[in-house]
């Protein structure tokens, strides 16, 4: 893709329109975070069936990542984002009028398909309209704004559901999102005006699979996958579905106070994303220490929340815990930098899609596991039931941390081996005691 020397007014307009679609996607994705209890009553389902909503939506998102990259390469981000807005609007409209569990599942699947197309398309537009030196900053700022979509899905959505009801709330947001596709189609541009870009050739399915396999063999890609797996899912599971029921049912909080407290899951993204993006752009050697620091902090938070005597954790301590967990989003940005640095240019897009699957796979596994455990232990009371069910989140976190440690060491070995051969490496690493013989092993 040809690079631009500076961002133009048109480039900023394109970014503004595209990032608005991404913000809407995050809003729709996290809307069940505060509407989950009403959804259970509306469709007459228990915790396990309620968890399927999130599992289905996030599962569709994960499965769509690599195909979305191919669609963006083939048809351009403008068309893909237009379709994304239409699908999200249609999914939310269907969810508004659904009167059965089966129809509601279809609605969330449609919504998940549209959501899956937004982030990759936004990244491609940023790459096309902004110079390389601004790329990391604009991407990080986009992620921070995306967190605003999560914020709108807490207190404002709770108030709307209480005042105008389920149907009118979701009809309104669905119509606005679908109508926005007209603006996307008319104003978005895949490339700056006057720039000639050769049309992409169709990619055969076998070639896509070959690229996926090639990128997966790279230790940096594996490391990125497990970093995203470990850091992104914790706040996602709480924000997408189980945080609100946990605060209301297990901690006995007022619904409005609970939705306000869930806003802390957004704060870390808003504050941390630009800071982390700027830091890892200037000092890439700090990427993994940031990840390790977050993973250790997350393990401490979950240990405190789930082992507190009596189960009812003081609200200030819950608030601190949610704020710490919210930095999982900014930390997960390290995964995309790893995919970019350790893969050849021809497969960077595919590697990015592979890495992005990691966090949503972890979210799917943990969200479903929590729902099943809640169903099995509901007779024990909500406080005890949630303490047991949320152990599933800790288990996924432990597995992800273990695999991250394994592939961090192997990726370091690749870097040291490349240095020994006199090759240029993306990050200058200092040898540690535990790095002995890594270069020979690589």
Tens digits of residue pLDDT in 255-311: 888 888 887 887 777 777 777 777 776 777 788 899 999 999 999 999 999 999 888
Dihedral of the CA atoms 26, 142, 260, 110 (nearest 10)? Answer: 0
DSSP class of residue 432 equals: -
Burial class (CB in 10 A: 0-12, 13-18, 19+), 14: buried
Residues of the chain with confidence (pLDDT) below 50: 1, 439-442
The phi-psi region of residue 141 (left if phi > 0; otherwise alpha if psi is between -120 and 50; otherwise beta) is alpha
Residue with tokens 């800071």: 275
Taking alpha carbons only, the member of 130, 144, 99 closest to residue 12 is 130
Q: Given this model, what pLDDT does residue 113 score?
A: 92
Residues whose CB is less than 8 angstroms from the CB of residue 320 and which lie 6 or more positions away in sequence, other chains included: none
Nearest to 140 by CA among 123, 125, 118, 153: 123
- CA 197 to CA 203: how far, in whole Å? 17
150: nearest Cα among 30, 276, 310: 30
Q: Mapping DSSP to helix (H, G, I), strand (E, B) and coil, where does residue 31 land?
A: coil
Coil, helix or strand at residue 153: coil
Cα dist from 341 to 9, 223, 335, 398, 436, whole Å: 30, 12, 10, 26, 24
Q: How far apart are the C-alpha atoms of 268 and 376, rounded to whole Å? A: 33
b (16+ CB within 10 A) / e for 391-423: ebbbebbeebbebbbebbbbbbbbbbbeeeeee
Q: Considering only CA atoms, which of 308, 321, 302, 315 is closest in space to residue 393?
A: 302
What does the pLDDT read at residue 419?
61
């Amino acid at each position: 893709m040809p690079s631009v020397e500076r961002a133009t007014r048109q480039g900023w307009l394109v970014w503004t329109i595209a990032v608005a679609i991404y913000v809407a996607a995050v809003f729709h994705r996290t809307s069940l975070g505060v509407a989950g209890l009403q959804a259970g009553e509306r469709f007459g389902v228990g915790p396990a069936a309620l968890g399927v909503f999130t599992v289905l939506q996030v599962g569709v998102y994960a499965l769509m990542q690599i195909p979305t990259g191919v669609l963006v390469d083939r048809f351009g981000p403008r068309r893909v984002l237009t379709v994304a807005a239409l699908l999200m609007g249609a999914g939310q409209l269907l969810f508004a009028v659904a009167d059965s569990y089966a129809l509601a599942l279809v609605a969330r699947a449609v919504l998940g398909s549209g959501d899956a197309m937004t982030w990759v398309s936004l990244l491609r537009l940023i790459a096309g309209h902004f110079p390389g030196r601004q790329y990391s900053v604009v991407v990080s700022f986009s992620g921070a704004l995306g967190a605003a979509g999560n914020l709108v899905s807490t207190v404002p959505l709770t108030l709307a559901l209480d005042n105008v009801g389920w149907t009118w709330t979701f009809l309104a947001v669905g119509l606005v999102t679908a109508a926005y596709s007209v603006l996307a189609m008319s104003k978005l541009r895949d490339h700056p005006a006057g720039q000639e870009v050769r049309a992409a050739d169709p990619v055969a399915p076998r070639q896509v699979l070959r690229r996926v396999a090639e990128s997966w063999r790279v230790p940096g890609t594996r490391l990125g996958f497990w970093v995203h797996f470990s850091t992104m899912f914790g706040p996602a599971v709480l924000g997408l579905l189980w945080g609100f029921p946990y605060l209301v049912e297990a901690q006995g909080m007022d619904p409005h106070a609970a939705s306000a407290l869930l806003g802390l899951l957004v704060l870390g993204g808003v504050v941390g994303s630009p800071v982390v993006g700027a830091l890892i752009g200037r000092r890439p050697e700090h990427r993994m220490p940031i990840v390790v620091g977050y993973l250790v902090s997350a393990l401490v938070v979950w240990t405190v929340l789930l082992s507190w005597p009596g189960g009812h954790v003081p609200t200030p301590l819950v608030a601190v815990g949610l704020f710490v967990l919210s930095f999982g989003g900014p930390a997960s940005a390290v995964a995309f930098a790893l995919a970019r640095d350790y893969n050849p240019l021809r497969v960077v897009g595919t590697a990015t899609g592979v890495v992005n699957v990691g966090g949503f796979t972890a979210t799917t596994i943990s969200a479903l596991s929590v729902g099943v455990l809640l169903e099995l232990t509901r007779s024990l009371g909500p406080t005890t039931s949630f303490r047991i069910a949320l152990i599933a989140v800790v288990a996924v976190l432990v597995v992800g941390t273990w695999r991250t440690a394994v592939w961090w060491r192997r990726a370091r070995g690749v870097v040291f081996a490349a240095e020994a051969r006199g090759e240029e490496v993306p990050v200058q690493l200092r040898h540690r005691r535990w790095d002995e013989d890594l270069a020979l092993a690589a």
